Structure 1
Amino acid sequence: MKRSTLGLLLSCALVSGAGYAAPVQLSSFGNLPDDTEVNGFHGTFLYGQTGTVNGVDMPILGYTEMDKLNGLELGVGGDHIRNGMNGMALNLFNWHGGEDNGLNIGLANQLGNLNGASIGLYSGTANMTGLNLGLANTTANATGWNLAGLGNYSTGNITGLNTVGLGNDTEGSIYGANIVGVGNYTGGEVKGVNVAPLNWTAGNTQGLNVSLLNHTADVQGVNIGALGNWSEGKITGVNAGIVNVSGDVTGLNVAGFNKSGNMTGANISALNWTGDVTGFNMGAINLSHDVTGMNLGAFNVANNVTGMNLGVVNMSTGSSTFDFGLLNSASATNFQIGLVNVTNNLEGLQIGLINVATNAAVPVLPIANFHRSF
């Protein structure tokens, strides 16, 4: 009696276990056997649906749906894995929810969160850690390498390398390298390297920004635009281009044309148009507010100059310390040396062919002097 009862219990357990996990399951609009879990092999022809597959899944000329895959999928068709995969899926197209840990290869991949690699003509993921390779890639946050032949579109941040043949559109920030054949758009900030014929960064840039045309907010580092740089914020570092337009600059501003706020450092251009300059202002034409340092150009126009004003024509609407040029004009000055010197108040020495000083503290030299008092 006891042996019969024990045998009955063992038989029930085996039947129950067999109903829960089948070693082999074949599907074609139905499952044989009709189990929800497979530990071994699952094959699909045309259409199949099951629960979890632990082992190998093989869809042949069909489409398979399952809850989860732990293992390997090899097929000529497509799949929909609702809760992600641990392993590898090689198929014509892969559609996965949840989280994938491993490798996906297909003509088109649309995945949930990915830890691993996704390779396809189209490769789309939620958050990605690893490699995303395709002609066109979409992702949320990406950590690793996002590589596309045509374009990358990211709704989140990129940490690592974002490279593409045509364009990168990143709604978040770049922490690493953003390199593209045509254009980069970054909705957040860039910390690292931003290289493209056209870079448009809505936020700040820290690092290296290289392009034909650059747009950014603040720049800390190097901003190089072959045609021009447009920075709506401040520049701290090097700003180099044919045309530079920015807020305040601390460092080096080099261009055919520089338009900036206040300048601290060196401003070098054919035409410099700035606010206050502290340092060195060199250009064929320098237009600035107050200059503390040296103003060197064929034509210099400033308000107050504390230092040296050296040019063919020097014009200061306020005061200047030292003017040296063919034509020097200042409201008040200490020293003026030129062919023609004109000032209202002269505190020091004026040397020229024609000297005009309304109020002079000392005599003016030499040939033609026009002054009211010494």
Structure 2
Amino acid sequence: MIDAGSTVPAPKRILVVGAGLSGAVVARELADAGHYVTVQDERRHIAGNCHTEIDPRTGILVHAYGPHIFHTDDAAVWAYVTRFADMVPFRHRVKAVAAGRVYSLPINLHTINQLYGRAMTPCEARHFIRSQAIAGDDAPVSFEEQALRFVGPRVYETFLRGYTRKQWGVEPSDLPASILKRLPLRFDYDDRYFDHRHQAMPRHGYTAMVARILDAPRIELRLNAPFDGRPGPEIDHLVYTGPLDRYFGQDLGPLGYRTLEFERFEVEGDAQGTAVVNFCDEEVPYTRVTEHRHFSPWVEAPPERSVCFREYSHSARPGDIPYYPLRLLSDRKLLSRYRARAEAEEGVTFVGRLGTYAYLDMDKAIARALETAGALNAAWAREAEAPAFVHAP
């Protein structure tokens, strides 16, 4: 006989490793579906590299691991974040210092006219940059090839070559062309760094937003709790958001990451007049300076003091916080081997920038976390719906 039973899945006990944005979203979705979720993180705080905190000396809301600006065209993701935070409109504008002059980024009509000492119209500038670009028949493979086809030698040498070598620690000819494809080139005077429909900051910071996401009755949070690779027997499923290679003990070799170091300093008054200034010249050791009062101008802070970070990039060493997947050719080959092992791992789901070794903006990380949680909930619901065949007495 067939015992139809209940189609409601029995609650599972889930361990989520990592209390960053991806882990928090997955945990909340699973908890809202009726499962019991433990979220653990090796750090003393939640929100991962998005962590924000009030500086005790100045009252300024500081992005502790570098600036994070939320931007998206995804209506579902926007609806999700606005459930958990009051999102304040924010238009990110970046300046660049090159050869002693200040320019507007991303590269736009003002940047082009300023660099060449011209007063070109959009149409003239478009044709001019096209004339400067180095033509080629084959699709560009490297960052350098893409840049020279995209903007030509002078723009590349002024704004991209030195900064890229500092940021990534390798020759631009060794980086994939896909990195440059994320950088906009505009032939108008629009100096907004992003052109997405929704651009905003959580009024009280990302840590407060993640805290609200994790605020659910079926979620238990454990901080200062490193993952030793062995979930207890009471755990039905593991969601892992840490570095993919670390999960496997790096036994195939380490994947390449870049990490960041921050040199904090305070100044009197307004240090640079904007949130971010990039330093493109290679002889300047840092890549950019961030001034945190400009990320949240609605926060009341003493006008006489300002908190700034000089940002330095270098290869991640053991114990460093990994920020950006390097994704060189050797990394991509190694990644395919780790991914094959991850797909074969039973009872484990890998998610997030580190767990999938992918460069993900915050909106993409949230979207993938929602998809992952949805897929897990659907799979467990199907398990509950499967009829159990038993012998009649």
Give yes or no for TM over 0.5.
no
Higher helix share: 2
Larger RCO: 1 or 2 (CA < 8 Å, sep 6+):
2
Structure number with the higher strand fraction is: 1
Higher Rg of the two aligned structures: 1
